[in-house]
Amino acid sequence: MQVSLEPRPRGFHLVTDEVTAGVPDLNRIRVGIAVVFMQHTSASLTLNENASPDVRRDFAAWFDRAVPDGADYFQHTLEGPDDMPAHIKASLTGSSLVLPVRDGRLALGTWQGIYLCEHRDRGGSRKLLVTAFGESGR
């Protein structure tokens, strides 16, 4: 199932509701998994704390320091100073989330939410492909 995330500014964004709204079929699965896959190389997905916006801001603070825009050792610079860091940040966080499904819902921990990690200044809309399966029988 394809889910299109609306464009967001560079940073880390909580998108749990947007993802689950795009996958109504989950409610037919009693025990299974959902694979949420990002079809881009300069944005990525991770699970983290779903309550405080400070946490998401601090993610950006750390990643922007760890992989600096326009570092002088990058050669792939034609697409802008945020491009090569975006690729590296995407691989540090990852393209897929593999989530347990129980009784028709994502079985996340209490504090877990899905983050869209948007690493480009103007990334635009991002496409996810969700594959869910397991035993039905609800």
Measure the CA–CA gap between 90 and 55, rounded to whole angstroms.
18
Residue 58 or 121: the one with the smaller Cβ distance to a second copy is 58
Q: 101, 134 in Cβ contact below 8 A?
A: yes
48 binds a second copy (CB under 8 A): yes
Out of 52, 81, 105, 124, name the contact with a second copy by CB under 8 A.
Answer: 52
16 binds a second copy (CB under 8 A): no
For residue 4, give both structure tokens: 């299109």
Out of 7, 9, 81, 100, name the contact with a second copy by CB under 8 A.
Answer: 100
Q: Which stretch binds a second copy (CB under 8 A): 3-11, 15-23, 37-45?
A: 37-45
Measure the CA–CA gap between 102 and 20, rounded to whole angstroms.
14
Classify residue 28 as exposed, middle or buried by CB count within 10 Å of its CB (0-12, 13-18, 19+): middle
Out of 11, 28, 95, 104, name the contact with a second copy by CB under 8 A.
Answer: 95
Out of 9, 21, 57, 103, name the contact with a second copy by CB under 8 A.
Answer: 57
3-state helix, strand, coil in the chain (%, to 5): 25, 35, 40
37 binds a second copy (CB under 8 A): yes
71 binds a second copy (CB under 8 A): yes
